[in-house]
Structure 1
């Protein structure tokens, strides 16, 4: 029996597919992460609709469990949280020229600045808003993506931000960076980035910057690198109960529980003879007389086509594998002669403690990472949030959001 069957009243017409989101598990994960970094505040990263789990309910659950910051990539994501009434500190870091700076300033959102063009735009927005902007300066300590280069560029950015702060146009609230290889224990870049981060902090603080928070730790660093915790740790995938990488341990090893369980209703079961081609290209042919089950989800729902012939599914208590190509809306499993009725629940992935596959199993089948598996589940799959009430985490009869709205 799956979590959905235990906690969600099933309608007379089973859902084609649904993603059950266990907010009690999310809150438990946040508590584990807080214990891993007891001297730092915790930012729960809810970008990309909380890695596909539903940003607003997940943000609320994370705050309930003690997260003190929320993080998003885009300003639109941050503004949507504010529009939903989410309080407290929210930071966003992926800006492009002409972005909604003024809206973010007026919504009291911390904005990340990595270069002079961005600083100029946020200063202009603060003038228009007649309120100081909350600005976090980001340095590239070795990831090679966003962030200001250490050295002369960093010094110029810090100096310009301090002048704007003296003019009352902004407050420098944070200094930060991001690891490249924290999910690879012992990688030499980790120590190098920490050293460089301390250098950029020393330069900024030596010039008079007094940030509220200094941060570089992501999920793997939160769990394995206490020397990187500083004032704040930013946890993304671990909040949702997925290990940042197999190299640092499974979710169970880390004390985490996967939050999403993805299920579908078997749409058809039929008997076919041996030698029967299955799905496009006939990459799978039945080895003998058997039964086929139709799973009504496909790559339009986020099921990776790269997992064709390998993607695992639990049907009728048995582990099955995608037979042939995964198509846009459906794929087939060989049931080996079993004949479960149409409407039987197929579990694509979940926590794994009932024998079902996990997101990591699908990642292995598709040659990718579990982050991508959960994040890519599309909008045709409704999210069903259970255990909305933080005071009833142990109550299997907690209220349920079943309309997929995420409210």
Structure 2
């Protein structure tokens, strides 16, 4: 455990539990799979996995097998799924650690079967099919052979086909429903081949709020579990979600400067009046995007919004604290973003200023930032 960290991401496990509860409220009896890939969307995969299971998640999912194995090493014993594999992947650890393997083509299926033979244990798989996203997943012309071989291997006792899933492109109602029709065809073909999937999932975060007809018996969600909106024009509060991450730092230097003072590299900001500048030890190495330079971003210090000024460096940025200068000292807390319902800047502000999505900002938060689980409910 590190102490004295100047850069901290507080992760509210209570918020994650509540968000999973909100998902269950919307979906009723459906199973809930929470995705914790990319280090739990930058929140810390172990922290999120534990909170999600406590909130009622049925299964935890990652992209890579390595990510899933790391969760097992942390003591996460919940059902796990991973689905993005390279051609040289070794599936033996997945079988040994009881991790469901997403299978997208015959070569992967045969590799999994061979791993099962070598271990003497049955492998558990879920077929991933492409229904229109044109990305990962078996294409339509592979389904017959893939499902037939899966059924054959299941009869041989080498694999167990637990599920089938796909991913929506979120390209509008017509496209979503067309993908749903394609998915229905894949489910029917899998059943005709002789497999009865326990978990059937297509709907992800956006469809959770827009396509209840695509819930099937399982939903697989990412960003909503972290309390962020997947829908343009709707914020977290409007969807009944609570942002889980509060990105914090502190003031490590204060200086009063006269009008006309240039700030940081290139003097792209000149102080118009005499003011106080505060130094905050977070930079682009920590995921503080340089694209926020001069963009109008702000942080919260002593409950007030204070603008970021000058160019953002690798390790630090500067805030104009103005009249707060005489009321704050070194060590004053700084909130970069968090739950706007608590008066903090929203991560959506950064995303809008950078013309990107909040996902990109979250997963870009660097390893120097300490992820710290906090239980605000208990507090």
Calculate the TM-score normalised by the size of structure 2. 0.95
How far did residue 323 of structure 1 move?
0.9
Would you say 1:84 and 2:53 are equivalent positions? no
Give secondary structure in 2 for the equivalent of 1:246.
coil
- Poorly superposed stretches of 4+, deviation over 6 Å: none
Q: Which residue of 1 aligns with 2:227?
A: 241
Contact 2:30 2:218 in 1 (8 A): yes
Would you say 1:38 and 2:38 are equivalent positions? no
Contact 2:113 2:159 in 1 (8 A): yes
Would you say 1:203 and 2:192 are equivalent positions? no
Counterpart selection for 1:291 from 252, 258, 276? 276
Match runs of 1:248-259 below 5 Å = 249-259=234-244
Residues 350-389 of structure 1, C-alpha deviations (whole Å, 9 max, x = no match): 11123210111121122211112222211111112112xx
Contact 1:19 1:260 in 2 (8 A): yes
Match runs of 1:152-191 below 5 Å = 152-181=141-170, 186-191=172-177
Counterpart selection for 2:371 from 348, 364, 383? 383
Residues 150-172 of structure 1, C-alpha deviations (whole Å, 9 max, x = no match): 1x311111112122222211111
Contact 2:8 2:372 in 1 (8 A): yes
Provide the rounded CA distance (Å) in 2 between the counterparts of 1:143 and 1:133. Answer: 27
Counterpart selection for 1:358 from 346, 349, 362? 346
Counterpart selection for 1:308 from 293, 298, 313? 293
Give secondary structure in 2 for the equivalent of 1:244.
coil
Alignment root-mean-square deviation, CA: 1.7
How far did residue 324 of structure 1 move?
2.0
Provide the rounded CA distance (Å) in 2 between the counterparts of 1:14 and 1:213. Answer: 45
Residues 170-221 of structure 1, C-alpha deviations (whole Å, 9 max, x = no match): 111111100111xx6x442111111111111111112212111111111111
Match runs of 1:75-114 below 5 Å = 75-114=65-104
- Unaligned stretches of 5+ in structure 2? none
Q: Which residue of 1 aligns with 2:218?
A: 232
Calculate the TM-score normalised by the size of structure 1. 0.89
Provide the rounded CA distance (Å) in 1 between the counterparts of 2:7 and 2:190. Answer: 51
- Unaligned stretches of 5+ in structure 1? 1-10, 388-392, 397-407
- For these two proteins, the number of residue pairs brought into alignment is 375
How far did residue 337 of structure 1 move?
4.2
Counterpart selection for 1:374 from 352, 362, 367? 362
Match runs of 1:395-406 below 5 Å = 395-396=378-379
CA distance 1:366–1:158, shift in 2 (3 Å): same
Give secondary structure in 1 for the equivalent of 2:341.
coil
How far did residue 316 of structure 1 move?
2.5
Give secondary structure in 1 for the equivalent of 2:135.
coil
Would you say 1:330 and 2:316 are equivalent positions? yes
Contact 2:5 2:370 in 1 (8 A): no
Contact 1:242 1:258 in 2 (8 A): yes
Provide the rounded CA distance (Å) in 2 between the counterparts of 1:237 and 1:358. Answer: 15
Would you say 1:61 and 2:60 are equivalent positions? no
Contact 1:271 1:337 in 2 (8 A): no
